[in-house]
């Protein structure tokens, strides 16, 4: 894997503004988008076709790695979300591995994954063009409703698990940052995963350079201990997220009152949290299989996707779309 300083800055072959374009092998990224063997992969022609890309208005959110804005593609009037991350500062780097992951994201198509429409490198920043989800994040939903009823949580979780199965089996990616802020919803009731691949890797880097407690509290024990981890680390994170949605609070206690080391110790050393008995046996079983401390015994996403809890409430007459409208 190459460091940022070893990537070739190509300002002569492709005239660009700012820092030029970044090239690794047959992959290149600049203001015109990501190219593979000279072929453009971006849906839109140029970064300059986006209205709002550099404006303070329509900011959807801030993260440790950058800012997400609502932008409009002038030629088509299509609305997108644009995530912009500075590269080469605060420990944030763009490696050959991440350029290859950008290519994989371009080729990804799944109803439970936020669609990727292109990536651009312009004036020292990486910008990723994504599907706009007009109902915000699962974190926003929790702030409003505090608790998500089990029947709706089952349906929401089903989408997340199917998205993870696709990431793990088809794209061969570990998300590494499953948390309420990275689960998006729209007014049609669709639930989709975002911030994976290169976006998640850069965010992860920036978080460690600053404060990463918001991500840490969903990390699996093996990741916290610095051990090797697999796609099953995403399953642990999912288990913590859905427990938080069901209980209305973090399963290991009020993390705002814990020190950094107390939080680490709770996840690694304490008994696995369990749901109160009023929740269905299927839900309790799903959580226990997701929060298995021994990674080798934790279920893969393709196994969990067949779990009975995920379809238990399919015919109950309730749906996420109607609940979001309340």
Residue numbers belonging to the annotated binding site: 83
Helices (H), the chain: 96-106, 138-145, 150-169, 198-209, 213-216, 221-224, 232-247, 260-269, 281-290, 301-304, 320-324
Strand partners, 130: 81, 116
Catalytic pick among 177, 186, 195, 234: 177
| Cβ partners under 8 Å of residue 272, min gap 6 | 288, 291, 292, 293
CB 109 within 8 A of CB 71: no
Please indicate whether residue 177 is annotated as part of the active site: yes
SS3 sequence of 186-222: CCCCCEEECCCCHHHHHHHHHHHHCCCHHHHCCCCHH
CA distance 290 to 296: 12
Only one residue has tokens 């989800």, namely: 133
CA distance 322 to 78: 25
CA distance 108 to 40: 16
Residue numbers belonging to the annotated binding site for ATP: 83
CB 102 within 8 A of CB 198: yes
Neighbour count for residue 15 (Cβ, 10 Å): 11
CA distance 165 to 172: 10
Percent helix, strand, coil in the chain (nearest 5)? Answer: 40, 20, 45
Give the residue numbers marked as catalytic.
177
């Amino acid at each position: 894997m190459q460091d940022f300083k070893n990537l070739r800055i190509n300002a002569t072959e492709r005239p660009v503004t700012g820092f030029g374009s970044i090239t690794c092998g047959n992959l290149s990224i600049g203001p015109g988008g990501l190219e593979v063997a000279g072929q453009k992969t971006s849906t839109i022609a140029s970064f300059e076709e986006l209205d709002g890309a550099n404006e303070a208005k329509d900011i959807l959110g801030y993260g440790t790695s950058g800012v997400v804005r609502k932008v409009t593609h002038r030629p088509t009037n299509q609305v997108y979300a644009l995530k912009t991350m500075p590269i080469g500062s605060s420990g944030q780097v763009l490696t050959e591995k991440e350029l290859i992951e950008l290519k994989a994201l371009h080729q990804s198509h799944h109803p439970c994954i936020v669609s990727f429409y292109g990536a651009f490198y312009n004036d020292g920043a990486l910008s990723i063009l994504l599907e706009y989800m007009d109902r915000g994040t699962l974190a926003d939903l929790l702030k409003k409703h505090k608790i998500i009823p089990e029947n709706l949580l089952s349906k929401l979780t089903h989408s997340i698990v199917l998205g993870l199965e696709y990431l793990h089996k088809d794209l061969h990616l570990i998300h590494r940052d499953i948390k309420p802020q990275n689960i998006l919803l729209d007014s049609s009731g669709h639930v989709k995963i975002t911030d994976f691949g290169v976006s998640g890797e850069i965010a992860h880097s920036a978080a460690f350079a600053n404060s990463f407690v918001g991500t840490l509290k969903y990390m699996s024990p093996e990741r916290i201990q610095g051990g090797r981890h697999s796609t099953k680390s995403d399953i642990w994170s999912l288990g913590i997220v859905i427990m938080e949605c069901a209980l209305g609070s973090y399963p290991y206690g009020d993390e705002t009152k814990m020190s950094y080391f107390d939080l680490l110790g709770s996840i690694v050393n304490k008994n696995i949290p369990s749901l109160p008995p009023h929740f269905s046996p299927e839900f309790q079983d799903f959580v226990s299989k997701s929060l298995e401390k021994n990674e080798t015994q934790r279920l893969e996403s393709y196994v969990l996707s067949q779990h009975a809890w995920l379809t238990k409430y399919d015919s109950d007459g309730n749906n996420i779309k109607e609940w979001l409208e309340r």
